[in-house]
C-alpha cells in the first residue's frame, strides 16, 4: 500500500485539520466531534442543512460546507457511517431556530445513525427533518443498503436544497424541494480499478487488467456485472441508457448533467465520456441546461466515473443556478 498518510487510524483527524487550515474563511471543526461547520454557524432563522457519511469521498462532504450549501458535514471513519453522537453534535451546532434538514445517503448504517441522532435532537426541542437519497439505478440492494444506494446525485440535493434554505424558506419547504430533486435525479457508475482503505492495507476488490465493473458503488460494492473494457462511447451509452430506462425524459425537457470522477480518472477521459453523454441526450431532443465535469464524490483512489442526470423544472433551474460559496465549488 502506497499512501501519503501517517497513521492509518488517524487519517480522518489529520485530513480534517488540513481542511480547516486550508479553508478557515469557510469552516471550522468542532472541538468535540469530527464535524466541519460553516464558519458563521448557526445562522439565525435559516434552515440548516447537515449531511455526511464515511470519509474517503472528498470533496464530499466537507468541501460543500458554506453559503448556499451545507451548514455542517460529519466525517465518519473511511467508508464507515458517522456515529449518532457525531451527528447530534452537528445538529446542535448549526440549529439557528428554523430547524435542521438531514440529507442522508441510503446506506444502512447512515440511515440508522442519522435517525437516532434526529431522535436525540427532537428530545432537545430542535426541529429536525430528513430525506434519503437513492439515486443509483444500478442495483436495488447491495452490501451496504436495503434499496438503492445514494451516490453523486447527492451533490445536487446539497446545492438545490441549500439554495432554498439560503432564500429563507421554511423547513417544510426545504424538505419538499429536496424531495423533488431526489424524485428527479438518477446516477450510475463504473470502475476501472479498485481502491484501498488505509486501515485494510489492500484493495477492496480485484479487477483483471482488461476488466471493468459496471454499476459498482462508491465503497466498492459489486455492480451489475463485469465485462471486458470497451470504448468510452460504449460505456457512456450503457450508463445513460440505464438511467433513461429508469427515468424517462421527453424531448424538450431540460436536464443538468454531472460527470463525476472517482479520484483517479484524468479529466481528459471524463470529458470524453461527457461528449458521448451530450450526443445521446441531444439526439433524443433533451435540452442540457448545465453540465458539471469533475470530482464531486470520489472513492479514495478508484479509477472510474459516474453519470448523473437531473430532470429540471423552472424552480430547480433557478435554485441550481443560485450562487454558492464553498471550498470545493465557488459556484455550482
| DSSP class per residue in 50-77 | EEEEEESSTTTTGGGBSBTSBSEEEEEE
Residue 165 lies in a domain: yes
Residue of 23, 61, 158, 219 with catalytic role: 219
Residue 152 lies in a domain: yes
Within this chain, do residues 205 and 145 fall inside the same structural domain, yes or no?
Answer: no
Residue 329 lies in a domain: no
Nearest to 104 by CA among 124, 122, 89, 84: 84
Instruction: Tell me the pLDDT of the chain averaged across its residues.
Output: 96
Would you state the pLDDT for residue 332?
Answer: 45
Within this chain, do residues 84 and 218 fall inside the same structural domain, yes or no?
Answer: no
Listed residues 144, 161, 183: the one ending a domain:
183
| DSSP class per residue in 126-186 | --EEEEEE--B-S-SS-SS-SSPPP-TTHHHHHHHHHHHHHTT--HHHHHHHHHHHHHTEE
Would you state the pLDDT for residue 1?
Answer: 84
- Please tell me the distance from the alpha carbon of residue 299 to that of residue 56, in angstroms, as a whole number: 6
Residue 1 lies in a domain: no
238 catalytic, yes or no? Answer: no
Listed residues 183, 199, 230: the one ending a domain:
183
- Please tell me the distance from the alpha carbon of residue 66 to that of residue 38, in angstroms, as a whole number: 5
Within this chain, do residues 18 and 159 fall inside the same structural domain, yes or no?
Answer: yes
Least confident of 4-8, 204-208, 264-268: 204-208
Within this chain, do residues 200 and 310 fall inside the same structural domain, yes or no?
Answer: yes
Within this chain, do residues 170 and 191 fall inside the same structural domain, yes or no?
Answer: no
What CATH number does the domain containing 315 carry?
A: 3.30.1180.20
Q: What residues make up the domain containing 315?
A: 185-321
- The full 3-state SS of 267-280, as one line of letters, equals HHHHHHHHHHHHHH
Within this chain, do residues 32 and 152 fall inside the same structural domain, yes or no?
Answer: yes
Within this chain, do residues 191 and 178 fall inside the same structural domain, yes or no?
Answer: no
Within this chain, do residues 71 and 16 fall inside the same structural domain, yes or no?
Answer: yes
Whether residue 331 is predicted with pLDDT greater than 60 in this model: the reply is no
Residue 330 lies in a domain: no
The total domain count for the chain is 2
- Please tell me the distance from the alpha carbon of residue 231 to that of residue 224, in angstroms, as a whole number: 18
CB-CB contact of 128 with 121 (8 Å)? yes
Within this chain, do residues 72 and 106 fall inside the same structural domain, yes or no?
Answer: yes
Residue 25 lies in a domain: yes
Listed residues 142, 168, 183: the one ending a domain:
183
Would you state the pLDDT for residue 144?
Answer: 67
Dump pLDDT digits (tens) for 222-255. 899 999 999 999 999 999 999 999 999 999 999 9
pLDDT (average), residues 318-326: 97
Please state, in angstroms and as integers, the Cα–Cα distance from residue 12 to each residue in 1, 33, 36, 53, 332, following that order: 18, 11, 12, 12, 26
The grid cell for 254 is 431540460
CB-CB contact of 68 with 162 (8 Å)? yes
What CATH number does the domain containing 91 carry?
A: 3.40.50.10440
Of the chain, the end-to-end C-alpha distance in Å amounts to 35
Residues 6+ apart with CB under 8 A from 234: none
Would you state the pLDDT for residue 330?
Answer: 59
Please state, in angstroms and as integers, the Cα–Cα distance from residue 128 to each residue in 3, 98, 119, 155, 317, following that order: 39, 9, 9, 20, 26
Residue 315 lies in a domain: yes
Question: pTM of the predicted model, to two decimals?
Answer: 0.96
Within this chain, do residues 178 and 250 fall inside the same structural domain, yes or no?
Answer: no
The CA R_g of the chain, rounded to the nearest whole Å, is 19
Within this chain, do residues 166 and 199 fall inside the same structural domain, yes or no?
Answer: no
Tell me which DSSP letter residue 81 carries.
P
pLDDT above 70 covers a percentage of the chain that reads 98
Cα 159–chain centre separation: 10
Would you state the pLDDT for residue 140?
Answer: 80
pLDDT above 90 covers a percentage of the chain that reads 93
Least confident of 24-28, 39-43, 119-123, 202-206: 202-206
Residue 21 backbone zone (phi > 0: left; psi -120 to 50: alpha; other: beta): alpha
Q: Dihedral of the CA atoms 162, 168, 171, 173 (nearest 10)?
A: -80
Whether residue 317 is predicted with pLDDT greater than 90 in this model: the reply is yes
Within this chain, do residues 176 and 232 fall inside the same structural domain, yes or no?
Answer: no
Residue of 57, 61, 158, 238 with catalytic role: 57
Residue 23 lies in a domain: yes
219 catalytic, yes or no? Answer: yes
- Please tell me the distance from the alpha carbon of residue 332 to that of residue 19, in angstroms, as a whole number: 20
pLDDT (average), residues 38-46: 97
Amino acid at each position: 500500500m502506497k499512501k501519503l498518510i501517517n497513521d492509518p487510524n488517524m487519517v480522518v483527524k489529520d485530513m480534517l485539520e488540513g481542511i480547516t487550515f486550508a479553508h478557515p474563511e469557510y469552516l471550522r471543526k468542532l472541538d468535540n466531534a469530527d464535524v466541519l461547520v460553516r464558519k458563521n454557524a448557526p445562522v439565525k432563522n435559516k434552515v440548516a442543512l447537515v449531511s455526511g457519511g464515511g470519509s474517503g469521498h472528498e470533496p464530499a462532504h466537507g468541501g460543500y460546507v458554506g453559503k448556499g450549501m451545507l451548514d455542517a458535514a460529519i466525517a465518519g471513519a473511511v467508508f464507515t457511517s458517522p456515529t449518532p453522537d457525531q451527528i447530534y453534535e452537528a445538529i446542535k451546532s448549526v440549529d439557528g431556530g428554523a430547524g435542521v434538514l438531514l440529507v442522508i445517503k441510503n446506506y444502512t448504517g447512515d440511515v440508522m445513525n442519522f435517525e437516532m441522532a434526529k431522535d436525540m435532537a427532537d428530545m432537545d426541542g430542535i426541529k429536525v427533518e430528513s430525506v434519503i437519497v437513492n439515486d443509483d439505478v444500478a442495483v436495488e440492494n447491495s452490501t451496504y443498503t436495503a434499496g438503492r444506494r445514494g451516490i453523486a446525485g447527492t451533490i445536487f440535493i446539497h446545492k438545490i436544497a441549500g439554495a432554498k434554505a439560503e432564500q429563507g424558506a421554511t423547513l417544510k419547504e426545504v424538505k419538499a424541494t429536496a424531495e423533488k430533486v431526489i424524485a428527479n435525479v438518477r446516477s450510475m457508475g463504473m470502475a476501472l480499478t479498485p481502491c484501498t482503505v488505509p486501515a485494510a492495507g489492500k484493495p477492496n476488490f480485484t479487477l483483471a487488467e482488461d476488466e471493468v465493473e459496471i454499476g459498482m458503488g462508491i465503497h466498492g460494492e459489486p455492480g451489475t456485472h463485469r465485462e471486458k473494457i470497451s470504448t468510452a462511447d460504449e460505456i457512456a451509452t450503457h450508463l445513460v441508457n440505464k438511467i433513461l430506462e429508469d427515468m424517462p425524459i421527453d424531448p424538450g425537457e431540460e436536464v443538468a448533467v454531472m460527470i463525476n470522477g472517482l479520484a483517479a480518472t484524468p479529466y481528459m477521459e471524463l470529458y470524453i465520456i461527457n461528449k458521448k453523454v451530450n450526443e445521446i441526450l441531444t439526439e433524443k431532443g433533451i435540452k442540457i441546461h448545465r453540465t458539471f465535469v469533475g470530482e464531486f464524490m470520489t472513492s479514495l483512489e478508484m479509477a472510474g466515473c459516474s453519470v448523473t442526470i437531473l430532470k429540471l423544472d423552472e424552480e430547480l433551474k433557478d435554485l441550481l443556478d443560485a450562487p454558492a460559496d464553498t471550498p470545493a465549488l465557488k459556484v455550482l
